[in-house]
Structures are given as C-alpha cells and as structure tokens.
Structure 1
C-alpha cells in the first residue's frame, strides 16, 4: 500500500534523527570530559594547600593548556577557533570550506584543553560546531540536494545547542532567528531541525539525568515593576552593543601580533586565568555553575559590578586567544551579575523590593543581554525559560528582551555572529555581503 511506503521525506527525517542521536552522544561525552578534567584540576589545586605553590602550579597548567588548545587549532583546523557559529553560517552561504574531520578533532580536543583550563568560555560553541560537522559527515555519505544539505547542517547545529543547554525549543528557534538568511525553509528542513533537536536533548537528559541546568526558584513580580525591567533592558541593550564592538576590537588587536608569536596572548590569558582560579574563582569558567549561587547569595552592588567587569573582560580575551569556546554561557553569567547589581541597587532605593524582584532581574537580564548581542529576542526568552525553569517570569523577560533588542537596534548595533562572519570573510580575502536586519523569515513553504 502506498501510504506504507517510505518516501523521500521519511528517509531525510531518518538522517536528521541519526544526526540528533549522534550529536547528543558526542556532546555528552564532550561535557563529561570537560567536567572530569576540571574536577581533577580543582582537586590538584586543593591538595597543594596555601601559599605561592598552588598559584605557580595553576598558572603553569592553565597557561600550558591554553597554548596547547591554540596550537591544536592552528595546526589542525584554524576555523575551529571560537564558537564556530559564524563558520556554519558561512558554510550554508557557500562562502566557507567545511573540513569536518579536522574540525571535529580540533574542536573536541582543543575544547577540552581550553574549557578545562578555566577560561571564560562556554561549552555550547564547540557542541554547536561539532553538531554541524557531524551532520556534514552524514550528508557527504549520502546523496542529498544542496537545500537538504543546508538543512542537515542547521539540524546538526541545533542539536548541538539543544544538547549543551538541554534546551531543544530554544535550539529550534535559534535556527529560525539566527540563520534566517541562510536556512532553506521548507517542511523537510524545518522538521529535520525539530527532530534532531528533540533527540539530541533526549540523549543528553537520559545520559546525564539533569533538568533545567540553571534552575532558579522565583514567583511572579508585580506589573508595575515591568517599568524597572524595561529600564534594565535599555541598559543591557547598550551593554550588548558595547560587548560586540569590544569583542571584535580585541580579536583585531590579537590579529596584529606577528604570526609566530600569537601563542603568547594565549599563554598570558591562560596564566591569568590560572591565578584567578585560586584568587577569585567566580571570575573564571563559563559560569554555568555560578548563576544559581549568585541568585541565592547576597553580594553587594560593588562586588557584583566588579564580578561583571572581570567576567566581561575574561570572555573578551579568552575568545580572542584563538581557542575553541562559546560566548553564550559567559554572556548569561555576565548578565546575571549585571541584573543582580541592578536589582540590589533598586532594593536599596525602594525597600519594598524583595528577593523575588532581585532574582527576576537576574533572569530577565540573561535574556536581555543575549537579545542585545545576538539580536534573537525570542530565542533569548525561550532559552532563559528552559535554562532556569522560571516560567512565571515570561512577561518580565519579554519586556527586558524587547527593550534590549530595540535599544541595540537604535544604537546601530549589529548581531555578533554577523559581524564575526564578516570579519572571517574579510581576513580570508573575500568581500562580505551587507545584510540587513529586515531579512524576512520565509515560512510560506512550510
């Protein structure tokens, strides 16, 4: 009977399902490896007691690890530096080469060294890039059309994000908002992204048994406080524009160093990170484990501002050092610090503000800063909801994300991955397109 015969759609969806399963397993293995290395590194530091010895050992190990990650990237796959999202978008536009074997090796082992050293980088960048490269490997083993090929790349990237944060819905929306210029919207490709995201998150949850990774317990906040959250969004919009500008500037600064000496910034960044791991550990790592502790703590405004500045500078120099790592997780932790500083200051001025408002500022700030930098406000809202489980704050987060995105737009800011792709193409001697933010999302073929 005809309706029992598997058609081309079914075969394509099987490929997407396989991508999701493979990426879920690969991402879980990567995350487990990072946690294993960092836990044993922490145990070593603790065993050295106090004094100068633990500082010397930590500086040496982190410095060596970051240089090792840099050399792995440079010698195996230079395009594996950073998050890789711009590389995926460039590949979908046909402007960037895809060497999936080399990227998987460099991203996995370079990422283990970089993240295990304590750099202010997130694991989601490597998993997104490795997810797309896994899909590329599968696409090359099969005869697929260019459109289906792009669809599988997007499905792999979405699966990587879903696995990193256990956030499949945000991963799906990320493809819609972030790759709206490159993604070939059709029923087949759209469903492939959904299938891969669901299965990747399911594999990760089954293997790790985790729920919302940044769980925050908070109740509803009064409607009148939305005015303050809108003001917070304006501040975050400006901060997001500045973050994007500063990241490109620091990367360009490092690019001016002679080729044979570019390992020196990696050594310096790693060494400083090693010292901070002992002196001020909250200023290191991607910050996934930091968020919940910050929300439940009672840091003062000055301490939160200092932590915001340290983590802000940390991600700029960590990313620019040329090792694998993402900016999503650091952005969330920076936003948490800034949001808590805003909420704490508001509570000091208006004593009627309670801990729920302070926590609401932290959660809303995560989405607002993400929306201002990446310019994907809907992804910001959904990602924060899936990460924190704070569904009572959907409206406050919407308010903050909207005002942050509008502020960034009116300040002339542009999406960070668009700028990173343009920079990559420029360094490769290509003339990048000048896209507009009004590129339509073509859903008519779904």
Structure 2
C-alpha cells in the first residue's frame, strides 16, 4: 500500500467527523429558523382576506408579492448575485473547484431574500436555499478550524447534504444526494463519507428540535400489488417526457428573464410578483412552493381535468418564478407538479380499469406518490435520491417497487429524449456567462485556495 493510500490516523478522522457534526448543527439552526419563519408568514393571504375583500384584496395581494419579489431580487443582485436560484449548481461547482462560495455574503442574503421570496408566495422550494446555506456554514466552519482544501470540499458537500436533510426531514436522502448528485465532484473516502452521515444526523436533529419531527407529506395510500407495476411503468414513461419539458422550459425562461434584466432590470420581477400575488387570491393552488397544495389535492381529489389544468398552470408558474432570480429551489415545485399529474393519471386509470385497480388496492394517491419520485428522477437524474426522498417524506415504504419501476422508466425516457441533469446545465450556463470553463485556471474556486494544515 502506498503512503498516500493509507487511511488517516484515528485522531484526524475523529477531528474531521467532529467538525462535520458542527457543520450539520449550524445548518440545522439556519435551516430550522428559515423554515419556521416561512411557516409563520406563508398564510398572510388568509390574514389579508380577513381585513379586506373584492378587487382591493387582489390588488393588495399583488402589491405585497411584487414588493417582496423586487426586494428579494434587489438585495440578491446588490450583495450576492450567486445567491440567486437554488444554489445547488454553485455548490457542485465549488466542490469541483471551479466556483467560489463567498459564505459571508451568501448566508445572510440567502436567508433574508429566501424568506421574502418564498414567504411572499412565489412558486419556489425551500431546499435550494438550505442546501446553499449548509454549504456556506461548512465553509465558515472550515475557516474557523483551519481545514485543508480537500477537507473543505468534503465538508462543503456534507453541509449541502445537511441542508437537504433540514428541508425535508430526510437524512438518508441527503446522504444519497451527495453521493449521487455530486458523484463527479465529491472527494470520496470512507472518512468523508462518514462526515456526510454526521452532518445529516445533526442537521436533521437540530431542525426537528426547532420545527418538530414528522413526515412533511403525510399522505394516505394503500400498498400496490405486483400486477400494478405495468401501470406505474407507463406513468414513468409519461413523466420522463414531462421532466425533459420542465428542464427545457426552465432554461428557456431563464433566457427570457436575462433579456429583460439587461434592458429593464426590475420589470420582470415586478410583473411576476404582480401575477403570483393575484393568483394567491384568484387561484391559490397555482402559487406557493406546493407543500400545502399536495396535501389539499390528495385529500380533496379534484377531477382529472381540473388536475391537468392545475398541472399546466403550476408548470408555468414554477418556471416563471424561478427565472426571476430570487433564492429558491425547484424540488418542492417538482413534487407538487408530479402530484397533479400522478393523481390525474390515477383517476384516468381508475375510470378505465375500475375493477382491476380496486381489486389490487391501488388508489390515485398511490400514483401521485410514485409520480413525485419519477418526475424528480427525470429532471435531476438522481433516481435513488428521488425514491428515498419521497419515502422519507410520505413514509409509504410499501410503494418501493412501484417507485423503482416508475423511476427506471422515467430516467431512461428522459435520457432517450436528450434530457440532461438540470443542475449540470445550470452550472454550465453560469460558467459560460462568466466566460470560464471547468478547465480554465482563471476561475478561482476552492481548488485554487492554499492548503491549510489540519491540526
């Protein structure tokens, strides 16, 4: 065995894992407070409806969301432009050493602007900001403890994983996210792997202390019989195509927003804010990140036609809101979009094969749950993360086989249609805008930082 291949002494491993535990705890604090703040303000349209009505209510709601959106865009562009969007591409680029995360400015901007944007009702998820804040917390801890460059990269990945764990109370999905989504960048070793575990544990534990321990999407669905697997495969094929469409719409809308930003910088955010604010009153299910929407439609189960209209509307609002440039992720919008499509598919299947589905115990909600994992797989190209994430969110472990079936079909179809991982495409666009590529030494990233001894 070469000396470089020998494992680090136990005390060095223990030190690294201890720092990873601290990173997870810091992420849990920021993530828990972030979610608590959003939960406290997200119901403001109901409060507003209790004090006014009619066209005044619509106008006031539109004005509030517009103001919050413009505010979030302003502080993001002014103080930390890299804090826009989900932050996952930035983290992946930083782990690879081709991007630099300025944690001192990203952390406060992501926190404040994220609360303003998501709390205002924009169709954005909470997981992106918490992942970015987790990575920022990791870099802060790395500087505090004077970690080496390779250790900083590993801790950056661990902090990002802890951020996902905080967002969904899903520690195992967080570990898989680091391994599957950042497989090309993560400096894999047993010690670094254990650091990801440590950060996910403390991140989830601290978040649960702040916001409570419970599945985020407690949906009611029965087990699926083996005879239903072909139906779930068909659903996966459909969602593979939807995933490719979603990714292309996101990228196209980002191009449109970039043109507006170049000529009239704040008009696009203002227009999107006005639209979403009005929809919060006129059609509330088409707005917000989607967690409450999933629970509502799963219980009420609208008609298939209504669900398909809602799916089209949420596809539009999701890509439009993401293009604005405020902090916010796409995981939650993807899950809510998938729920609409899955429920509609289940209702159609129930109409066509009522006796078959009732005989094997499959309900439309079962299709909705499986659809979340399948659409996630088609857009992010991380099927294992999609399966485990949805299982931890819903606790429906009896649907593992249908999920694997649908994710397999969705992933293959997405690839055959030319689909690529959304975060990889976003990172490429960011590098292209900066005029730098992965092999360009002018890009100052973590790999260019001086090595520091880990005492």
Range class of TM-score, shorter chain: over 0.9
**From 34, 39, 42, the counterpart of 1:35:** 39
Q: Which structure 2 residues correspond to residues 127-146 of structure 1 after superposition, within 5 A?
A: 127-146=130-149
- State the distance in 2 between where 1:188 and 1:148 align: 10
Aligned residue pairs total 428
User: What is the 5 A alignment of 1:263-412?
Assistant: 263-352=266-355, 353-354=357-358, 356-412=362-418
Distance 1:179 1:6 in 2: 26
Distance 2:327 2:27 in 1: 17
Which of 155, 159, 176 aligns to 1:156? It is 159
Computed over aligned residues only, the root mean square deviation of the Cα atoms, in angstroms, reads 1.4
SS at match of 2:42: helix
Confirm or deny: 8 A CA contact 2:45 2:61 kept in the other structure: no
- Equivalent position SS for 1:14: helix
The alignment status of 1:69 with 2:69, answered yes or no, reads no
**Per-residue deviation, residues 86-109 of structure 1 (Å, max 9, x unmatched):** 000111122112210110111011
What do the CA deviations read for 1:125-149 (whole angstroms, capped 9, x no partner)?
1000000000011112222222211
Q: How far 1:181 sits from its partner (Å)?
A: 0.4
**Contact 2:33–2:210 (CA<8 Å) still a contact in 1?**
no
* 8 Å Cα contact 1:13/1:188 also seen in 2: yes
Q: Which residue of 2 aligns with 1:118?
A: 121
Identify which of 415, 427, 433 aligns with 2:433. 427
Indicate the SS of the match to 2:260.
coil
- TM-score, with length taken from structure 2: 0.92
Q: In terms of mean alpha carbon deviation, does 360-369 or 295-304 score higher?
A: 295-304
Q: Which residue of 2 aligns with 1:443?
A: none
- 1:21 is matched with 25
Deviation at 1:219, TM superposition (A): 1.9
Q: Which runs of 5+ in 2 are unaligned?
A: 1-8, 440-455
Residue aligned with 1:183, SS: coil
Measured in 2, the distance between the counterparts of 1:338 and 1:258 equals 33
The superposition leaves residues 375-423 of structure 1 with CA deviations (integer Å, 9 ceiling, x where unpaired) of 0001110000000011111111111111100111111111000000000
Give the SS at the match of 1:216: coil
Q: Distance in 1 between matches of 2:438 and 2:192?
A: 26
Cα deviation 1:38-75 (Å, max 9, x = unaligned): 23x23432223431110010010000100000001000
Match of 2:177 in 1: 174
Partner of residue 442, structure 1: none
In structure 1, the partner of 2:442 is none
Alignment of 1:86-125 (within 5 A): 86-125=89-128
Mark the runs of 5 or more structure 1 residues left unpaired by the alignment. Answer: 434-446
Q: Is the 8 A contact 1:360 1:396 kept in 2?
A: no
Q: Tell me how far apart the structure 1 counterparts of residues 169 and 143 of structure 2 sit (CA, whole Å).
A: 28
1:248 to 247, 251, 265: 251
Change (3 A) 1:254 1:166: same
Mapped pair 1:11 → 2:15: yes
1:348 CA displacement: 1.2
Work out whether residues 160 and 200 of structure 1, in 8 Å CA contact, stay in contact via their aligned partners in 2. yes
Query: 2:260 touches 2:267 (CA, 8 Å); kept in 1?
Result: no
Contact 1:82 1:319 in 2 (8 A): yes
Higher mean alpha-carbon deviation, 347-356 vs 142-151, is at 347-356
Cα deviation code 1:160-194 (max 9, x no counterpart): 00000000000000011100000000011100001
| Alpha-carbon distance in structure 2 between the residues aligned to 1:206 and 1:395 | 33
Cα distance, 1:217 vs. partner? Answer: 2.2
The SS at the match of 2:97 is coil
Q: Distance in 2 between matches of 1:84 and 1:297?
A: 34
1:257, distance to aligned residue in structure 2 (A) = 2.2
| CA distance in 1: counterparts of 2:100 and 2:135, whole angstroms | 13
Structure-1-length-normalised TM-score: 0.94
Q: Is the 8 A contact 1:365 1:400 kept in 2?
A: yes
Aligned counterpart, 2:5: none
Contact conserved, 2:86 with 2:128, CA < 8 A, in 1? yes
Could you tell me whether the CA contact under 8 Å between 2:89 and 2:426 is conserved in 1? yes
Match runs of 1:40-51 below 5 Å: 41-51=44-54
